[in-house]
Structure 1
Amino acid sequence: MKLSDFKIGLEFICGPFWWRCTDVGTRTVTAIRLVEDDPVWYEGPPYMVEEVVLNEAELDDAHLIEEDHIRASIAEARSSGHPNFPHEALMRMMEARLEGEPYPRKGLFRFDRVRADGEILHPYAGRRADDSWIICFYLPFMKEWGEMQEVEFIALPIAANIDVKQRAAQSPQPRRI
């Protein structure tokens, strides 16, 4: 959906949740997640449930009906070029997040990065090294692991869909959906 599609009170699906729009900004939408059974929780403002700010990138995945959301997810999976994550990689990433020291800036894990050579880096954990942080990442196309100083990692550009597609074009490996 586009930002212009939103108005206060509009209910929509974004990610795995249903939301109700509570405010529309110039580049964001504020919404409450619809998870409570009793509608009294949604009376406001002020609201008794947390209002969340959704940005333009997140709203690209918003839909008015669940069927459209599912169709869009299938189409994205078929066309993205992303090689997906093997079970072993997912287990290693989850264990690192659970067993390691909590990384204080979790928003960093929301976005893959792209190196100058076009390789995609998927951050999954951080570990303290003296007075700085090391970011642990997985390279999904190469199926390899790496680490980098946080300051170097955040200097890399955020990977866009076109970066993933360009990297996929370099790999002859078949995709699994």
Structure 2
Amino acid sequence: MKLTDFQIGLEFMEGPFWWRCTDIGTRSIAAIKLAEDDTVWYAGPPYMIEEVVLDEARIADCHLTEEEHVEAALVEADTSSHPGYPHEALRRMTKARLKSRAYPRTGMFRFDRVWSDGKILHPYAAHKVGEEWIVSFYLPFTQGWGEMSETQFIALPIATAFDIKRRAAQLANPRRT
């Protein structure tokens, strides 16, 4: 969906949940998750449940029907060049993420980054060394692991679908890199 598709009161899907739009900004919307059994929780504003801000990336993953949501997931699966995550990598990342609950900026984990050489870095955890946060990342195309300072990591550009396709092409045709 696009920002212009929203109006206050509109119900939509994002991820596995239904939401109701409660406010519209210039680049984001606010919404409440429709997960309560009693509709009294949805009375407002102000709301007794948390209003969540959905940014441009999350808005793009919103759908008006379950069918649209499933179709979009199938298209993504059929057209994405992302290699996915093997079971053992997911297990390692999940364990580390549970240990890094003290990290204050978990929104940073939402976005892969791209190195200047085209490598895609998937952040999954962070730990503190002295006064500095160190970000742990996974390299999905080579199944490698790494770490770097948070400052260095967030300075890297956010990976786009184009970056992922370019990385897949680099590895398919190594002489063209």
1:72 CA displacement: 0.2
Q: Report the equivalent of 1:154.
A: 154
Superposition misfits of 4+ residues, deviation over 3 angstroms:
none
Over residues 95-134 of structure 1, what are the superposed CA-to-partner deviations in whole Å (9 max), with x where a residue is unaligned? 1122346222111111100000011000011111111011
Q: How far apart, CA to CA, are the structure 2 residues paired with 1:48 and 1:104?
A: 24
Over residues 140-165 of structure 1, what are the superposed CA-to-partner deviations in whole Å (9 max), with x where a residue is unaligned? 00100001111100100011111111
TM norm structure 2: 0.94
TM norm structure 1: 0.94
Q: Report the equivalent of 1:84.
A: 84
Q: Report the equivalent of 2:33.
A: 33
The answer to whether the Cα contact below 8 Å between 1:101 and 1:127 also exists between their aligned partners in 2 is no
Unaligned 5+ runs, structure 2: none
Q: How far apart, CA to CA, are the structure 2 residues paired with 1:144 and 1:66?
A: 36
Q: Report the equivalent of 2:145.
A: 145
Q: Report the equivalent of 1:18.
A: 18
Q: How far apart, CA to CA, are the structure 1 residues paired with 2:31 and 2:38?
A: 17
Residues 14-163 of structure 1 correspond to what in structure 2 (within 5 A)?
Answer: 14-100=14-100, 102-163=102-163
Q: How far apart, CA to CA, are the structure 2 residues paired with 1:156 and 1:75?
A: 28
Q: How far apart, CA to CA, are the structure 1 residues paired with 2:117 and 2:78?
A: 24
Aligned-residue sequence identity (percent) comes to 62
Number of matched pairs: 173
The answer to whether the Cα contact below 8 Å between 1:93 and 1:124 also exists between their aligned partners in 2 is yes
Q: How far apart, CA to CA, are the structure 1 residues paired with 2:22 and 2:133?
A: 37
The answer to whether the aligner puts 1:171 opposite 2:135 as a matched pair is no
Q: How far apart, CA to CA, are the structure 1 residues paired with 2:109 and 2:101?
A: 15
Higher RCO (Cα < 8 Å, 6 or more apart): 1
3-state secondary structure, aligned to 1:47? coil
Q: How far apart, CA to CA, are the structure 1 residues paired with 2:107 and 2:11?
A: 25
3-state secondary structure, aligned to 1:134? strand
3-state secondary structure, aligned to 1:165? helix
Q: How far apart, CA to CA, are the structure 2 residues paired with 1:23 and 1:108?
A: 24
3-state secondary structure, aligned to 2:92? helix
The answer to whether the Cα contact below 8 Å between 1:114 and 1:120 also exists between their aligned partners in 2 is yes
3-state secondary structure, aligned to 1:22? strand
The one-letter amino acid of 1:166's match is R
Q: Report the equivalent of 1:8.
A: 8
1:168 CA displacement: 1.3
